Amino acid sequence: MGADNQVISPETRAYVRYLRDRDRLNYRRIAQIVGISKSAVWRICVKPNNPREVHGTRLRSRGRPSKIGPRLRRIIIREMLRLRATRGNFTVRHIMTNLKLNSMGISARTVSRFLNKNGYRYRQARKKGLLSQKDLRTRLNFARGIKRERQPSFWMNDIAFYFDATSFAFKTQPKHHSQALSGRVWRKKNEGLLAGCTAKGRKVGTGGKVVHVHAAISYGKGVVLAKPYSHLSGKRFAKFVRKQFPAVFERCQISGQQRIFLQDGDPSQNSGRVNKVLGRLGVTVFNIPARSPDLNPIENVFKLLGDQLRDDALDQNIEREKFREFRRRVVKTLLGIPADVIDRIIASMPKRIDSIIEARGGRLKY
């Protein structure tokens, strides 16, 4: 067994420190005189009272002591959570200013590394509306009612199609825009849907011209409707329903199926004029709670559509694009989403209902 792995007696330690203090010998020379390694001499001289060395274990240098003590760590986490709940958009600089950490000699990098070590990262913010306590109760009651009154096959066999509209901002340089980052927030990986971790603003993004598309998906049929439009109003949507919905229902109709479709609570899509047209067509609207995109499977299809548009801009190296070309690309990409992918999304609805009940009305991962 080497000298480094043996217990060094107190007499030897005292002799080493004596040679170092009196004769100012270097570590190599002291090691030769005493008969131990140079690293052992260094540890005795630099950290003579470390208990790990007394028992013969190797000592690893731990660097400078942390500037953030246990109490300050709790304060930083508490301040970060407070800013997330009240301010929403903030950085480490706001934490440092509020806690006056600069006066303590603590840098922004130190605070960032501390947050990272505790699982917090400056992650992408999810574009989701905030849920109030009333929203949570409404969603929970809705899920319980569905669980009690409907069979799991309701989502696949009884709803003819899922309808909604989506929009995408037109960019003359699609590739450059696809490489840009969106808003970020300090959160853990599993906190993306919590209050304070979602970002306000339009999911469509910023820009001038926007491509608007009416879309519908059906179980077993895939995308059954993809029609661009300029702007939406109750009058325009009523005309659209009267012209397009009979053919869509005809395409989606299954033997014994009711004429039911699902849409959200957009005012233009639920106006009195629109309801009259739906009544004349013998159509029933299945409404979902407000601020509940996770209860409309077509929202997941729109997410796939947006990801595919961004990937195509990069993979196909689309440096420049005209508005008409972008609109055609949006419709073509939407129609190209495989039907089996859409079927799997719709088939997840019974599981979503169970998850809402389990989360007491909270957001889902979908």
Q: Give me the DSSP letters along 45-93.
A: HHSTT-HHHHTTPPPPP--SPPSS-HHHHHHHHHHHHHHHHHTSS--HH
More confident residue, 346 or 187: 346
Question: What pLDDT does residue 20 have?
Answer: 86
The residue that leads in pLDDT, 291 or 144, is 144
CA distance 99 to 327: 49
Q: Whole-angstrom Cα distance, residue 285 to residue 75?
A: 50
Report residue 121: phi and psi, to 5°: -130, 160
User: What does DSSP assign to residue 104?
Assistant: G
Amino acid of residue 19: L
Express each pLDDT in 356-365 by its tens digit: 999 998 888 7
Q: Are strands 284-287 and 260-263 parallel, antiparallel or unpaired?
A: parallel
Q: For position 338, what pLDDT does the model report?
A: 95
Q: How far is CA 290 from CA 71, 128, 281, 324, 334, in A?
A: 42, 12, 25, 33, 25
Span 331-347, mean pLDDT?
A: 95
Give the torsion sign (CA, 233, 238, 240, 241). positive
Residue 285, helix vs strand vs coil: strand
> Among 110-114, 130-134, 185-189, 246-250, whose mean pLDDT is lowest?
185-189
What is the longest distance spanned by two Cα atoms in the chain?
A: 106
Asked if 206 and 167 touch (Cβ cutoff 8 Å), the reply is no
Examine the pLDDT at 206 and tell me if it is beyond 50. Answer: no
The answer to whether 185 and 197 are in contact (CB under 8 A) is yes
Distances (CA, A) of 234 to 32, 111, 164, 280: 94, 52, 14, 16
Q: How confident is the model at residue 129 (pLDDT cuts 50, 70, 90)?
A: low
Average pLDDT rounded to a whole number, residues 166-172: 86
Residues 6+ apart with CB under 8 A from 19: 25, 30, 33, 34
Please report the pLDDT score of residue 21 as a whole number: 85
Which of the two residues, 148 and 128, has the higher pLDDT score? Answer: 148
Distances (CA, A) of 209 to 225, 245, 323, 326: 22, 27, 8, 11
CA distance 192 to 128: 10
- 284 pairs with which residues across the strands? 260
Distance CA 161, CA 352 (A): 18
**Rounded to an integer, what distance in angstroms lies between the CA atom of residue 6 and that of residue 58?**
10
Average pLDDT, the chain: 83
**286 phi and psi, to 5 degrees?**
-100, 105
Best CA proximity match to 109, nearest among 124, 119, 95: 95
Chain centroid to CA 273: 38
pLDDT at 139 over 70: yes
pLDDT tens sequence across 210-220: 899 999 999 99
The Cα–Cα gap between 137 and 233 comes to 30
Cα dist from 287 to 58, 124, 144, whole Å: 68, 30, 15
What mean pLDDT is predicted for residues 167-184?
72
> Mean pLDDT, to the nearest integer, of 279-308?
91
Residue 163 binned pLDDT confidence (cut-offs 50, 70, 90): very high
| pLDDT of amino acid 244 | 93
Q: SS3 of 167, please? A: strand
**Planar angle of CA 323, 325, 327, nearest 5 degrees:** 70
Chain segment 41-90, per-residue pLDDT in tens: 888 887 645 444 444 444 455 567 788 889 999 999 999 888 887 766 67
